[in-house]
Structure 1
Amino acid sequence: MREVIVRTISGVLYISIIIFSMFTSRAWFMGLFFVLAAITLSEFLKLVHLTSYVAYFLLAAAFYFLSYRVFEENSIYLLLILSSFVNLFLLKDLLWTSKIPMFEKKKYITVIFYIISGFVFLTLIPMKYIDTRISNEENFAPRLIVSVFILIWSNDTFAYLVGKNFGKHKLLERISPKKTIEGFFGGLLGALLAGFVIFKFIEKYDPTNMDRHPLWVWLCLAVIVAIFGTIGDLIQSKFKRQAGVKDSGVIMPGHGGIYDRLDSIIYASPFVYAFLLIVDNVS
């Protein structure tokens, strides 16, 4: 019982800090997520047994030049393509190899195009346009990134509840014995319901925003988050299994490390960003 209470308090505090930073200002948002990115990077480097101060320099440079102040629009598109390829290779290694080769030979590839780029695109999601002529605050749409996190949290919560109570068929037992096919579809349903609620909420309280995000966009985002978020969780589980640890860190009582909490959104963020980019260009 005590563990449940600690886990709940820790989770509520974490969610409150995240939402507070998003709605305060873009500077607060960027500052908090830079700290979270640095902690996540530290936890990841320990998992892959890599000691590198260069990685933190690359993180700071990427945050400043590719997220806070985009120095070149095409650099974002190039990073998006490379990150998507690396993430898909991680998926391939998850499904068809006993060990992730990048874990052993190409650690900087995962550091740059999986961890660092994941946070770059996470912080780019709430930016309406990649345009340095528009002020950061004017260009910042906190409701969008909050909604993406709600989709992630809904997917995780429903996947846990459905999997725990109705799960019988293992999803990928050799990597994560507790994950079930029933839990995955429960999480997908939860994300879809959250997407519908988000749409109705915004439609009621801010109708002008619906020109940019109709219902089908929210439902597609829910599907993307559910699929790629689950893959991200499994990939992190495989990294931990190869490292021989249960959690990536101990900073959050009852939850583990920051990487444990953000593994889904880190992996999913390039695909979420790519989808929103396509939607904006088509519309």
Structure 2
Amino acid sequence: MNETLKRTISGAVYIALLLASILFSTESFIVLFGIFLIITIYEFSNLVKLNKIFSIAFGTLLYSAIVLVGHYNKQTTAYLNNLFKSDFDLITNIQELNMVLLAVTIVIAIKCILFLFYDSVQQISISSKYLYLLGYITLPFIFIVKISFGTSDYNPKIIIGLFVLIWTNDTFAYLVGKSIGKHKLFERVSPKKTIEGFLGGVVFAALAGFLISKFYIQPNPAFSNKSILIWTIIALIVSVFGTIGDLIESKFKRIAGVKDSGSIMPGHGGILDRLDSVIFVAPIIFLFYQILYYVS
């Protein structure tokens, strides 16, 4: 089987599995991304030489605890109120927890960006490895689940729209870069990325954001302009921070001396290779949603 065919089949299986889990139910979506998290932690632990068993156990327990409590917070609050005949403000506590987790993730994301641009780093300290495991890998998966709920209930259109933007940005950054790319974006980490490709990805992602808002999200006509603006901004966030996330993973792979994070997807590499953009983007999108919520 030639490389192109393998790449096409594995990519189609990945997209079908992703869409099916998102559309089938909240639980299937949470379970699939829990499985993705386990595989991603395994691949990341290989890259930076961390203890796999401890890392997977830590990430899985944290993901399960926060996502399940967050998902069932309304039911849990009602149950506790009935059980103890008192007012448990669990939802408020969870919102406060979200802000703490977001702050931790943003700080570690900044550390990741400094790591990307700091040329002399060829070895990563143990403490930094575990910080990256927490804020670069595990917490972003939690925020992927959280942003799928928007401001209230589970909405598969939000997460599908996010993935469409990432796929659009990646595809057109590659096509434009391959066609007319001449100026390297960040050659010492990713020699193939070009400035022209990056700009092409931004333009087509913004167009995709407009189309998603107009024809897929189906906004109330009274708020259509606001929705278009929101999804265009999300497209820009995806383009910029998705590219940074891709470069950060490339830096980890360059230090490890490998081409791919894994081999679970023939022709594509590992799950971390497929999700490197979305895991870096997800906390930023969640922050953007929080800003919108408080402003509105």
Q: TM-score if structure 1 supplies the norm length?
A: 0.91
Distance 1:23 1:122 in 2: 15
Q: 2:155 aligns with which of 135, 138, 141?
A: 141
Q: Within 5 Å, which residues of 2 pair with 1:162-201?
A: 162-201=176-215
2:181 is equivalent to residue 159 of structure 1: no
Unaligned runs of 5+ residues in structure 2 are 71-89
**Which 10-residue stretch deviates more, 183-192 or 91-100?**
91-100
Residue among 150, 171, 174 paired with 1:128: 150
Does the CA-based 8 Å contact 1:94-1:100 persist in structure 2? Answer: no
Aligned to 2:117: 95
Aligned partner letter, 1:11: G
Aligned-pair Cα RMSD in Å: 2.0
Q: 1:118 aligns with which of 133, 136, 140?
A: 140
Cα distance in 1, alignment partners of residues 229 and 124 from structure 2: 36
CA contact under 8 A between 2:166 and 2:278: conserved in structure 1? yes
- In structure 2, distance between residues paired with 1:7 and 1:54: 32
Deviation at 1:101, TM superposition (A): 6.1
Q: Residue type matched to 1:277 in 2? A: Q
Give, in whole Å, the separation in 2 of the partners of 1:147 and 1:265. Answer: 12
Counterpart CA distance in 2 for 1:86 and 1:222 is 23
1:3-44 CA distances to partner (integer Å, 9 max, x unpaired)? 112111211111111111101000000010000110000000
Structure 1 residue runs of 4+, over 6 Å off? none
Per the alignment, do residues 152 and 4 of structure 1 end up closer, same or farther by CA in structure 2, a change over 3 Å counting? same
Residues 109 and 212 of structure 1: CA distance in aligned 2, closer, same or farther (over 3 Å): farther
Distance verdict in 2 for CA 1:65–1:208, change over 3 Å: farther
Unaligned runs of 5+ in 1: 131-138
CA distance in 2: counterparts of 1:100 and 1:74, whole angstroms: 37
SS at match of 2:193: strand
Structure 1 residues 106 and 281 mapped into 2: Cα distance closer, same or farther (>3 Å)?
Answer: same
Given the two structures, how large is their TM-score scaled by the length of structure 2? 0.87
Match for residue 226 of structure 1 among 218, 233, 239: 239
Matched residue type, 2:131:
I
Q: CA deviation at 1:250?
A: 0.4
Corresponding pairs, count? 274
Residue 212 of structure 1, CA deviation: 11
Determine which structure has more spread, i.e. the larger CA radius of gyration: 2
| Aligned position for 1:135 | none
TM-superposed deviation, 1:62:
2.1
Alignment pair present for 1:8 and 2:8: yes
Identity of aligned residues (%): 43
